[in-house]
Chain A
Amino acid sequence: MSSVGLNIGLKALLTSQAALDTIGHNVANANTPGYSRQRLELSSDRALSLGGVRVGSGVRTDTVERTFDSFVTRRLVLQHSTRDALQNRLQSLGAVEALLGEPDGFGLGGLMDELFSSMTTLSTDTEDLVLRTSVTQSASNLTEQMHQLSTELGQLREDTSDKIRAFVNDVNVRADQLVELNKEISRIEATGVSANDLRDQREEALRELAEVIEISFQEDDGGAVRVLVDGRLLVGPTQSNELSAEQTAPGEIELRIGGSSQPIEVSEGAIGGLREFGASYIPGVMNQFDELARNMILEFNRRHSTGIPRQGGFDQLVGSNRLQDGDQDGDFRDELLRSAGLPFDIQSGRLYVNVRSEASGEVDTQRIEVDPSSMTVGDLLDEISSIDNLSASVDSFGRVQIFADSGFSFDFSSRLDEHPDVAGTFGGGRASISSSEGEPFAVLPGDTLELSGLLGNFTVTFQASDFAQPGSATAEELAAAINSSPDMIPGGMRAVAQGGQVAIQSQLTGATAQVEIVGGSALGALGMNAGVSMGHDAAVEVTMSGSYTGEANDRWTFRPNMDGQIGTTPGLQIEVLDEGGIPVAVLDVGPSYSPGNEIEIGEGLSASFSFGTVSATDGDFFTEEVIADGDSSDVLVALGLNSFFTGTDAASIELRADISDDAGNLALSSSGAAGDNGALLELIALQQETVSGLNGSLTEFYGDVVGDIGFEVSSTRNSLEVEEFLVGELTSQREQVAGVNIDEELVDMVRFEQSYQAAAQFIQTVNQLMNELMGIL
């Protein structure tokens, strides 16, 4: 607190004191002329009535005392209610705290640490099966503890409901006792005799009832008390209305009185405390653990789904999450991805699919643009199936399954394509003319491309059926349309699509190979010029190396700035452009470059080029997908493909069964290269990373949950201590009432009210001081 703040507090306190003095003065000089808006005074000519008894002059002190006593009793009954709500809450909170097993280290926190620690140990040798098994064991221990917590919290909620039902029976028994006491007191006092002993018994019974349920009560003229719960009559002069309890949902109990259709609300007493605990507190804690489990599943799976297991890529994968047939037409394929009933959201993003030939080791990387609001399940499956040597479908359970052809494997990793120019569009052996721009191409139905082949000139005419969206053609569509011309193969030509661009090439390689574009109306849209290109005896071989360290997925395009020979032609450079056409690097491959040497590009990557000829005129190029995240759409997580955990919450989280059975299935590599543990390092980093859904790391979130429960226990304990103190004080005060001079007492009350205000101000000021002091300890 600043000194300014303290001075304000003091000023307020002094103001209150000034007010107190004025009040004291007013009261002392009031001479009881009557009440006014300005001050509380006692009327001399028109005495106040208190419970029908006149006070101020010649009052019947004994009756007033009893009235005063009734207020203390009423307050005492309320304090009993509050105290018992707190007692029950504290007891229940203690049970939750015990479930967590903290801070003894046997709880979830210790098991989370153990999992990350076992992964860190595994990072020293990811091939070691013993270390891998240690990770799967730690993960299983963690999920087991999650299940136990979820089950026991659910059981605690059930126990709470059982306790409430037992207390409801107790209320009905006590209500009947009060009715009997009412009848007896009314009967005796009707004869003019005060039933003091029975009144004491009734007061005790009221206190006991208030301990169980929040009540209000008042005595009628006949001496009977009417007890109300939430404004409804529970106890009348001659009969009671039954309190009933009905469970409407786990942990939620509705209370009704006398068969009323309207449920009642109580917040104090044992029942009030338990109801709040069962219907609100425990579900809140359960939700927090479910959130923790859900985010753990999401984040572990995000990192693991793009990893590669010990034995390399997959020959098949089946998702663990089931699609929902929302429109009930018996076909999962027509569901939009965003409404396919998957347990995790799919974002707009990219999925990279790598297909590796086991024979050649060559990897073909394809990317799929995922848009959950326009892409159906069928679209996604078709996109995957359109990749050479892969097929995707939905099984009868609604799970997506992907198969690789024999001799091929696949993965979704951020692995680097080390030989990106398989098509030979960058100084390859074939004659090649490429488009200068990438897709989409504004080619329309009827547009033509005139080529000159081995058998003479021919024309390719594009049809509407060649494109999904005429005027916005993809490179794949164009290549397929051109290749479908019956003159292409006899003419010794082919069209290839690579990295969103299209090239017309000769089928033969070598210096005698030739390809010629004569003309056509599609040239402009294709970004091609009419001309002749010759093949090369010495093809340029491109090799990429390193690990991409950039933060975003991108596609880099490599183009020569002129025609020339690698390592020979002065001024020959290769420009590297990102997907937006922004230069990433310029590689000098002129006379100072020794062909075959690595040149650093940046972002962790290098490239090397063998000797050969490249041509800017022919549009030579190649592309490299640089991948930071193999699945920025979370579609793998949503489908449960190559997941680490399965399930959606604390009750259902499990280590994926085939990982549990064989720790070799842990997908810890991000490239498939020997010794690579990129995916594992990403999993380990998760321990410190902020998880967006939790506003902190997993361990911080758990720490907050435990801390909140601990704080709740501590503050409930403090409140209970105060309530017990107050119950004692009020009990003692009730016993002191006898012998009070009521006139003096009433005047004092006014004066005390001001003193209490001063005290409240003082408390606030000292509290500020205490907070500040605590802050520097």
Chain B
Amino acid sequence: MSMDTNKSLNALLPELVACVEDDLAAQKRILALVEEQLENLRSERGRGLEELAEGMVDELRGAPERTSRRDAVLARFAAAWGLEPKGVTLSMVTQNLGERAEGLGALRAELRSTTAEVVRSLRKFSALVSTRRRLVGDVLRSLLESEEPGRSEDQRGVLLDAEV
């Protein structure tokens, strides 16, 4: 690797670290929100989900900008190493830059475990949501089907869909 390339990568490293710190912070916030959603669903059977969803929307609004900023930095690493723009991972950066990227390595490990934790919580949340939906569906179906015989289908209640 040439001296110039080395220099430019050294300059890029703090930018990448900042991006990963942002990602990590965002993941921790998402984890907290998912845990809160999960707890809310467990204790209140869904009350307050709307308010929490609003918080999540705010959180997700920032994601595209974070992603494109991080992708741009990684693309510059890729260009320096002659790789495809999407061909660089944090693992490659930490390996290739060695000691200089020790801090990044630690951040990557934390990001990895936090992301895994988000995925795990999300999996539980998802399962609980779908079980609740099935349960509500069971009850409502029973309500509709138990209407007195002879009542035509269009006179019965059905769940409103999102067409509104």
Chain B contacts for A766, CB-based, 8 A = 30, 34, 56, 60, 118, 122
Verify if B97 is at the interface (C-beta below 8 Å from A): no
B162 in contact with A777 (CB, 8 Å): no
**Considering the complex, which residues of chain A in the window 708-767 have a beta carbon less than 8 Å from any beta carbon of chain B?**
718, 721-723, 725-726, 729-730, 732-733, 746, 748-760, 762-763, 765-767
Verify if A36 is at the interface (C-beta below 8 Å from B): yes
Question: In the complex, A20 Cα to B160 Cα: how many Å?
Answer: 11
Q: Please give me the residue from chain B that is nearest to A68 by CB atom.
A: B139
Verify if B148 is at the interface (C-beta below 8 Å from A): yes
Question: In the complex, A777 Cα to B119 Cα: how many Å?
Answer: 14
Verify if B100 is at the interface (C-beta below 8 Å from A): no
**Considering the complex, which residues of chain B in the window 18-55 have a beta carbon less than 8 Å from any beta carbon of chain A?**
23, 27, 30, 34, 37, 41-42, 45-47, 49-50, 53-54
Chain A contacts for B120, CB-based, 8 A = 718, 721
Question: In the complex, A3 Cα to B162 Cα: how many Å?
Answer: 25
CB distance from A717 to the nearest CB of B (A): 11
Question: In the complex, A72 Cα to B44 Cα: how many Å?
Answer: 16
B53 in contact with A38 (CB, 8 Å): no
Verify if B81 is at the interface (C-beta below 8 Å from A): no
B139 in contact with A777 (CB, 8 Å): no
A759 in contact with B37 (CB, 8 Å): yes
B123 in contact with A35 (CB, 8 Å): no
Verify if A15 is at the interface (C-beta below 8 Å from B): yes
Known: A755-B53, A756-B133, A776-B70. A722 touches B91 (CB 8 A): no
Contact residue among B34, B122, B148, B164 (Cβ-Cβ distance under 8 Å from A49): B148
Chain B contacts for A7, CB-based, 8 A = 64
Proximity string of chain A (53-88) to chain B, C-beta cutoff 8 Å, 1 when within and 0 when not? 001000000000001100110110001000000000
Q: Please give me the residue from chain A that is nearest to B34 by CB atom.
A: A766
Question: In the complex, A52 Cα to B143 Cα: how many Å?
Answer: 10
**Considering the complex, which residues of chain B in the window 52-73 have a beta carbon less than 8 Å from any beta carbon of chain A?**
53-54, 56-57, 60-61, 63-65, 67-68, 70
Verify if A39 is at the interface (C-beta below 8 Å from B): yes
Interface residues on B, range: 35 or more
Verify if A198 is at the interface (C-beta below 8 Å from B): no
B146 in contact with A71 (CB, 8 Å): no
Question: In the complex, A48 Cα to B156 Cα: how many Å?
Answer: 10
B136 in contact with A74 (CB, 8 Å): no
Chain A contacts for B132, CB-based, 8 A = 752, 756
CB distance from A74 to the nearest CB of B (A): 7
B53 in contact with A769 (CB, 8 Å): no
Q: Please give me the residue from chain A that is nearest to B41 by CB atom.
A: A759
Contact residue among B89, B119, B136 (Cβ-Cβ distance under 8 Å from A756): B136
Q: Please give me the residue from chain A that is nearest to B111 by CB atom.
A: A777
Verify if B130 is at the interface (C-beta below 8 Å from A): yes
Chain B contacts for A732, CB-based, 8 A = 42
Verify if B129 is at the interface (C-beta below 8 Å from A): yes
A722 in contact with B127 (CB, 8 Å): yes
A23 in contact with B156 (CB, 8 Å): no
**B interface: dominant SS:** helix
Chain A contacts for B118, CB-based, 8 A = 766, 770
Question: In the complex, A376 Cα to B109 Cα: how many Å?
Answer: 65
Question: In the complex, A41 Cα to B148 Cα: how many Å?
Answer: 16
Proximity string of chain B (128-164) to chain A, C-beta cutoff 8 Å, 1 when within and 0 when not? 1111111110111011101110000011111110101
Question: In the complex, A751 Cα to B112 Cα: how many Å?
Answer: 36
A74 in contact with B128 (CB, 8 Å): no
Known: A13-B60, A749-B139. A773 touches B115 (CB 8 A): yes
Question: In the complex, A718 Cα to B108 Cα: how many Å?
Answer: 23
Question: In the complex, A454 Cα to B90 Cα: how many Å?
Answer: 90
Count of residues in A whose CB is under 8 Å from the partner chain: 76
Question: In the complex, A55 Cα to B123 Cα: how many Å?
Answer: 36
Verify if A50 is at the interface (C-beta below 8 Å from B): yes
CB distance from B83 to the nearest CB of A (A): 13
Chain B contacts for A762, CB-based, 8 A = 37, 53, 56, 60
Question: In the complex, A759 Cα to B148 Cα: how many Å?
Answer: 34
Question: In the complex, A455 Cα to B57 Cα: how many Å?
Answer: 110
CB distance from B22 to the nearest CB of A (A): 12
Q: Please give me the residue from chain A that is nearest to B65 by CB atom.
A: A3
**Considering the complex, which residues of chain A in the window 679-731 have a beta carbon less than 8 Å from any beta carbon of chain B?**
718, 721-723, 725-726, 729-730
CB distance from B77 to the nearest CB of A (A): 11
Question: In the complex, A38 Cα to B162 Cα: how many Å?
Answer: 10
Known: A6-B63, A50-B143. A774 touches B159 (CB 8 A): no
CB distance from A255 to the nearest CB of B (A): 26
CB distance from B137 to the nearest CB of A (A): 8
Known: A23-B164, A762-B56, A777-B111. A725 touches B129 (CB 8 A): no
B154 in contact with A49 (CB, 8 Å): no
Chain B contacts for A190, CB-based, 8 A = none
Known: A40-B140, A777-B115. A750 touches B67 (CB 8 A): no
Verify if A26 is at the interface (C-beta below 8 Å from B): yes
A777 in contact with B89 (CB, 8 Å): yes
Verify if A10 is at the interface (C-beta below 8 Å from B): yes
**Considering the complex, which residues of chain B in the window 85-137 have a beta carbon less than 8 Å from any beta carbon of chain A?**
88-91, 108, 111-112, 115, 118-120, 122-136
B139 in contact with A758 (CB, 8 Å): no
**A interface: dominant SS:** helix
Contact residue among A726, A757, A763 (Cβ-Cβ distance under 8 Å from B131): A726
Known: A759-B37, A763-B129, A776-B70. A48 touches B147 (CB 8 A): yes
Contact residue among A18, A24, A718, A746 (Cβ-Cβ distance under 8 Å from B123): A718
B49 in contact with A759 (CB, 8 Å): yes
Question: In the complex, A756 Cα to B129 Cα: how many Å?
Answer: 6
Question: In the complex, A750 Cα to B147 Cα: how many Å?
Answer: 18
Question: In the complex, A766 Cα to B46 Cα: how many Å?
Answer: 19
B53 in contact with A758 (CB, 8 Å): yes
Chain A contacts for B108, CB-based, 8 A = 777
**Considering the complex, which residues of chain A in the window 11-31 have a beta carbon less than 8 Å from any beta carbon of chain B?**
13-20, 22-24, 26
Chain B contacts for A765, CB-based, 8 A = 60
Chain B contacts for A39, CB-based, 8 A = 160
Verify if B13 is at the interface (C-beta below 8 Å from A): no
A759 in contact with B68 (CB, 8 Å): no
A51 in contact with B142 (CB, 8 Å): yes
Question: In the complex, A730 Cα to B118 Cα: how many Å?
Answer: 22
Q: Please give me the residue from chain A that is nearest to B19 by CB atom.
A: A776
Chain A contacts for B162, CB-based, 8 A = 15-16, 19, 754, 757
CB distance from B30 to the nearest CB of A (A): 6
CB distance from A637 to the nearest CB of B (A): 40
Q: Please give me the residue from chain B that is nearest to A718 by CB atom.
A: B123
Chain B contacts for A74, CB-based, 8 A = 138
Chain A contacts for B111, CB-based, 8 A = 773, 777
A759 in contact with B158 (CB, 8 Å): no
Chain B contacts for A50, CB-based, 8 A = 142-143, 146
Known: A9-B60, A20-B50, A75-B134. A776 touches B129 (CB 8 A): no
Verify if A1 is at the interface (C-beta below 8 Å from B): yes
Known: A10-B61, A40-B140. A759 touches B124 (CB 8 A): no
CB distance from A44 to the nearest CB of B (A): 13
Q: Please give me the residue from chain B that is nearest to A757 by CB atom.
A: B162
A10 in contact with B128 (CB, 8 Å): no
Question: In the complex, A288 Cα to B119 Cα: how many Å?
Answer: 31
Question: In the complex, A6 Cα to B138 Cα: how many Å?
Answer: 33
User: Interface residues, chain B, CB within 8 Å of chain A?
Assistant: 23, 27, 30, 34, 37, 41-42, 45-47, 49-50, 53-54, 56-57, 60-61, 63-65, 67-68, 70, 74, 88-91, 108, 111-112, 115, 118-120, 122-136, 138-140, 142-144, 146-148, 154-160, 162, 164
5 A/B residue pairs, CB under 8 Å, sorted by A: A75-B134, A749-B136, A753-B136, A755-B53, A766-B60
3 nearest interchain CB pairs?
A35-B157, A3-B64, A755-B49
User: Interface residues, chain A, CB within 8 Å of chain B?
Assistant: 1, 3, 6-7, 9-10, 13-20, 22-24, 26, 34-41, 48-52, 55, 67-68, 71-72, 74-75, 79, 718, 721-723, 725-726, 729-730, 732-733, 746, 748-760, 762-763, 765-767, 769-770, 772-777
Q: A40-B160, A748-B47 are in contact. List 12 more A-B contacts (CB 8 A).
A: A10-B60, A13-B57, A34-B157, A71-B142, A749-B140, A750-B159, A755-B46, A756-B129, A756-B136, A766-B56, A773-B27, A777-B89
